Amino acid sequence: MTSLVERDRRVVWHPYAAPEASPLFAVESAQGVRLRMEDGRELVDGMSSWWSAIHGYRHPRIEAALEEQLHRLPHVMFGGLTHESAVRLCERLVALSPEGLERVFLCDSGSVAVEVAIKMALQVWVSKGRPGKRRLLTIRGGYHGDTFGAMAVCDPVTGMHGLFEGNLSRNLFAERPGCRFDEPCEDADIADLARLLEQHRDELAAVILEPIVQGAGGMWFYSPDYLTRVRALCDEADVLLIADEIATGFGRTGRFFACEYAGISPDILCVGKALTGGTLTLAATLANDRVSAALGEGDPGVFMHGPTFMGNALACAAANASLDLLEEGKWPEQVSSIGEQLRSELEACRSLPAVADVRVLGAIGVVELHEAVDMSVVQPEFVEEGIWIRPFGELVYTMPPYVIESGDLSLITGGIFEVVSRIA
């Protein structure tokens, strides 16, 4: 009988892969924090399916919400129509998000949420009669998605999109803040961004960044002081601030939103990934009154974006169930315990010759290597260790589900140590 992997390689194209993906492993089912493979092996998932399955797989509360919604209303167009699941979700996101964010635009994915945020920022200044403010400023080491607007604000070196450089909008990139999470932000750390803001304030629509944690662009954790100062500089320069919390939102860093570490509220906030507990694709872009009023009052008076599956009822039901679980209040202790164990058990990696740095924040553990890994070699080795870890570049990291138990987390940290120790 032809295996699932063989069938896949004939017709499927996977992300960041050649037409025939390799290495490739077939999943038969998932439950809790485990993936059951087609060959019968079980792997402890250290990735939460790209950071989204925070409650683990097949949580009964989320499945019950999906079943109820499926029988009532699986989907309806959001143009001119509305429904309970979407309205309730938007009400809750407004209540949970940093103060001042009062309007929610529902999207299909994280990349689209960033596109929406960029379009909102650009349309604000057109509505205000200042169409020259159309560029964006960001910091190096960032990653915001794979669509064209999002690619244009990813790091031009680490953002994986250099192939398309000639087709992307030409935005501005400040040096990545060198101040670590537990360090103060010195003037030198923010000098480059401050300089670019001052020099280009009349052509800048917004600053966009990942607050506190830079994700796929480098897994770098920087000082909350830096973010506080960025907010103040944006206000001084009359430039909007977009916070991309797609990876950091919903508790991953130890706060519900990473912006809370700095005590700031952005003008526009992007969320996604864990929004539905990893069950269905859904994202959202939240805006404050400054943004929504400008778009509503200027010509044409409407926001020019409209996804077909915007406000999908099934996805909204899953998101509401995920928020129910988060609002029960177990996640802070879970994330704190994961962080403490990651700090303790990954520290052993620091002595390995291949390792440049080890860092942990919330439920994120990172082992940075001196050189990029060979995925064709290390991915099967992690599988042999009984864990699912998906490194990229020089970064071997884990962002496990919040519900993981200490024994399973030790399998992840021990497996990382064993594989990294074998890297020359």
**Chain segment 328-356, per-residue pLDDT in tens:** 999 999 999 999 999 999 999 999 999 99
What confidence tens digit (pLDDT) does each residue in 282-305 have? 999 999 999 999 999 988 999 999
Domain count, the chain: 2
Are 186 and 335 contained in the same domain? no
Residues 223 and 131 in one domain: yes
Chain position carrying tokens 């994280």 = 110
Q: How confident is the model at residue 167 (pLDDT cuts 50, 70, 90)?
A: confident
Question: What percent of the chain is modeled with pLDDT above 70?
Answer: 99
- 184-196 per-position pLDDT tens digit: 999 999 999 999 9
- pTM of the full structure: 0.97
Query: Which entry of 146, 273, 402, 408 is annotated as an active-site residue?
Result: 273
Active site residue 397: no
Q: Which of 295, 311, 327 is the last residue of a domain?
A: 327
Can you tell me the distance from the alpha carbon of 76 to that of 202, in angstroms, rounded to the nearest whole number? 42
As a whole number of angstroms, the distance between CA 346 and CA 13 comes to 34
* Torsion over CA: 184, 97, 236, 122 (sign): positive
Quote the pLDDT of residue 424.
Answer: 66
Query: Do residues 295 and 346 both lie within one domain?
Result: no
Check whether residue 181 and residue 78 sit in a common domain.
yes
Whether residue 316 is found in the same domain as residue 337: no
**Phi-psi category of residue 48: left, alpha or beta, with phi > 0 → left and psi -120 to 50 → alpha:** left
**What CATH number is associated with residue 201?**
3.40.640.10
SS3 190: helix
Among 271, 292, 327, give the residue marking a domain's end: 327
Catalytic residue among 244, 261, 397, 402: 244
242 and 334 housed in the same domain: no
Same domain, 338 and 236: no
pLDDT tier at 315, thresholds 50, 70, 90:
very high
Same domain? 353 vs 286? no
Question: Are 44 and 189 found together in one domain?
Answer: no
User: What pLDDT shows up at residue 159?
Assistant: 63
Are 274 and 46 in contact, with CB atoms under 8 Å apart?
Answer: no
Instruction: Kindly state whether residues 142 and 280 are assigned to the same domain.
Output: yes
Give me the domain span that covers residue 14: 4-58+329-421
Q: In this model, does residue 363 exceed pLDDT 90?
A: yes
- 3-state SS, 262-293, equals CCCCCCEEEECHHHHCCCCCCEEEEEEHHHHH
Give which of 104, 30, 18 is closest to 292, Cα–Cα: 104
Statement to judge: residues 72 and 136 lie in one domain: yes
Side chain identity at residue 18, one-letter code: A
- State the catalytic residue, choosing from 45, 133, 143, 261: 143
CATH code, 370? 3.90.1150.10
Q: CB atoms < 10 A from the CB of 82, how many? A: 11
Q: What's the pLDDT score for residue 161?
A: 67
The bridge status of strand 34-37 relative to strand 42-45 is: antiparallel
Among candidate residues 304, 327, 350, the one where a domain is terminated: 327
In the residue annotation, 16 being an active-site residue is answered as yes
Q: Tell me how far CA of residue 301 lies from CA of 3, 123, 297, 422, in angstroms.
A: 54, 10, 5, 60
- In the residue annotation, 143 being an active-site residue is answered as yes
Closest by CA to 271, choosing from 287, 260, 285, is: 285
For residue 226, indicate whether it is catalytic.
Answer: no
Residue 121: Cβ within 10 Å count: 26
For 138, how many CA atoms within 13 A lie in the half-sphere containing its CB? 30
Of the candidates 232, 234, 209, 208, the one whose C-alpha atom is nearest the C-alpha of residue 220 is 209
Q: Which residue is listed with tokens 């964010």?
A: 101
Do 176 and 310 lie in one domain? The reply is: yes
Q: How confident is the model at residue 162 (pLDDT cuts 50, 70, 90)?
A: confident
